[in-house]
Amino acid sequence: MASKLTDIEARSARPRDKLYRLSAGQGLTLAVTPSGAKYWQLRYRFAGKPKTYSVGVYPAIGVAEARAKASAARAHLLNGIDPSEHKRQAKLALRLSVARTFGDAAQRWVDHNTPRWKPATLEKVRQYLDKDLLPPLGKRPLANITPMELGFVVEKIEARKAFNVAKKTRQWLSAIFDYAIAKGLAEHNPAEKLGAVATVAPPSENHAHLSLDELPAFLHALDAYQGSPLTKGATWLALWTANRPGITRTLRWAELDLEDALWTIPKGRPGMKRGYAHLTPLPTQAVALLRDLHRLTGTYEFVFIGRNDPRKPMSDGAINAALKSMGYGGKQTAHGFRHLVSTALNDQGWESDWIERQLAHGDPDEIRGTYNKAQYLDQRRKMMQAWADYLDRIKLGTLHPVTAKKPGNRR
């Protein structure tokens, strides 16, 4: 009748002075300890030796479930597998899977690829990992990460309109899991289908800008502008340097070396795309303007101080408001000066690499070539001085911007 052990019998079993067992049949027993604890155990033989397999604790494991677990263990015996060893290996595998985190796999992947990456690529990978991936995923076991979880991570990046970052992130997530699979750290790649749910990036914003044949009238209007000399100066500086509007309006006196005619934008500067450092050569016209402005704002942090609070920079809409008052609203924007300058310099035959570096396109650390390590600084000094002189000649009416497209060999 012992094989018919019921849950009532198991529950009503009382402790004795010594451990005793109630048989549930086929080697399964319920061990009752003097303290009253009850354990399911399967007694069996493997390789000729008597062994005991722990099934679980009663009443967390009831009679029916204990029999089912014992039956599964006996199935392993029929296949020549020691159920106790199988259980031990399963626990070990579980502990290893928990220990194998995304952060660990990501670091191994970075270490593996570092010898073949350029320093700029390594820095970019580390930046994306530290900012977007390791905070939510670093301590997560690889085996527990799902495609949906990764999708949420990428969605947060897309939500801030960083679509290029999101694209790179998807690629690197997939590469990390592929590496983990190859190293036996993971069994599947939950990132491989992320492209199917990627948000389509909106079309690039069209920043209005003038054509070259519209330059003379615009330069005359800018020269005659009677508004704030700071707004006027910021507009000229944007046109002379082609720097981003957010960088121009927040120019700090500490970034300027007027003796060397150089504007140094430090790494990590707010407003600079991905925080890159950038060197901007200043034409003589810009240096003269800035020396004049120093008499107005030289005691403050910012060159172009705010109208209501000189401790803050000029508002981000000041230049566009000035352009609108000059009759160029919707025709020319602050950001559009970058397009205008790029078009003009390319049309004049200047070296495209110099133009791209002047516009701070791409990572400066990835720039390679036969030129000096200061990112074509000498070449860009010549180019931007020629550009400022070109604008002066147009303004004075001694040169037509269209008929003089290629003033000489610039290469």
Residues 40 and 152 in one domain: no
pLDDT at 339 over 70: yes
Residues 242 and 295 in one domain: yes
As for how many domains the chain has, the answer is: 3
Whether 338 is catalytic is: yes
Please say which residue of 197, 225, 251 terminates a domain: 197
pLDDT of 160: 85
277 inside domain: yes
pLDDT of 163: 87
Whether 4 is catalytic is: no
Exactly one of 156, 361, 405, 406 is catalytic; which is it?
A: 361
| β-pair type (38-46, 28-32) | antiparallel
Exactly one of 371, 382, 395, 410 is catalytic; which is it?
A: 371
**Two tokens, residue 214:** 């519209």
The answer to whether the pTM exceeds 0.85 is no
410 inside domain: no
Residues 267 and 369 in one domain: yes
Exactly one of 51, 335, 381, 410 is catalytic; which is it?
A: 335
Exactly one of 67, 338, 339, 357 is catalytic; which is it?
A: 338
Q: For residue 340, give the amino acid letter.
A: L
402 inside domain: no
Higher pLDDT, residue 407 or 34: 34
Note the pLDDT tens digit of each residue in 188-224: 999 999 988 888 877 655 577 888 889 999 999 999 9
286 inside domain: yes
Residues 270 and 354 in one domain: yes
Whether 108 is catalytic is: no
Residues 297 and 237 in one domain: yes
Residues 187 and 309 in one domain: no
How would residue 148 be classed by pLDDT, with cut points 50, 70 and 90? Answer: very high
Residues 22 and 47 in one domain: yes
Whichever domain contains 323, its CATH number is 1.10.443.10
Residues 334 and 383 in one domain: yes
Residue with tokens 């009677």: 226
pLDDT at 374 over 70: no
Residues 263 and 323 in one domain: yes
pLDDT at 403 over 70: no
How would residue 237 be classed by pLDDT, with cut points 50, 70 and 90? Answer: very high
pLDDT of 255: 95
Task: Classify burial at 313, counting beta carbons within 10 Å of its beta carbon; exposed 0-12, middle 13-18, buried 19 or more.
Answer: buried
For residue 364, which of 350, 380, 376 has the smallest C-alpha distance? 376
pLDDT at 330 over 90: no
Whichever domain contains 124, its CATH number is 1.10.150.130
Whether 371 is catalytic is: yes
pLDDT at 369 over 70: no
Residues 36 and 182 in one domain: no
Report the pLDDT averaged over residues 69-85.
89
Q: What span, in angstroms and rounded, lies between the C-alpha atoms of 294 and 386?
A: 25
Q: Is-contact 348 405, C-beta < 8 A?
A: yes
How would residue 238 be classed by pLDDT, with cut points 50, 70 and 90? Answer: very high
Which residues have CB under 8 Å from 125's CB, separation 6+? Answer: 110, 113, 117, 172
In DSSP terms, 305 is beta-bridged to: 313
Domain membership of residue 31 as a residue range: 2-95
Please say which residue of 197, 231, 246 terminates a domain: 197
Whichever domain contains 45, its CATH number is 3.30.160.390
pLDDT at 362 over 80: no
Which residues have CB under 8 Å from 361's CB, separation 6+? Answer: none
pLDDT of 162: 84
Whether 335 is catalytic is: yes
401 inside domain: no
Report the pLDDT averaged over residues 128-145.
91
138 inside domain: yes
Three-state DSSP class for residue 314: coil
403 inside domain: no
pLDDT at 410 over 60: no
Note the pLDDT tens digit of each residue in 239-264: 999 999 889 999 999 999 999 999 99
How would residue 3 be classed by pLDDT, with cut points 50, 70 and 90? Answer: low
pLDDT of 200: 82
Residues 192 and 233 in one domain: no
Residues 24 and 76 in one domain: yes
34 inside domain: yes
pLDDT of 367: 44
Which residues have CB under 8 Å from 73's CB, separation 6+? Answer: 42, 44, 53, 55, 83
Rounded mean pLDDT of the chain? 87
Three-state DSSP class for residue 372: coil
Alpha helix (H) residue ranges in 210-317:
215-223, 229-241, 245-249, 284-297
Exactly one of 244, 278, 339, 380 is catalytic; which is it?
A: 244
pLDDT of 365: 47
Exactly one of 161, 183, 267, 273 is catalytic; which is it?
A: 273
Please say which residue of 41, 61, 95 terminates a domain: 95
Whether 273 is catalytic is: yes
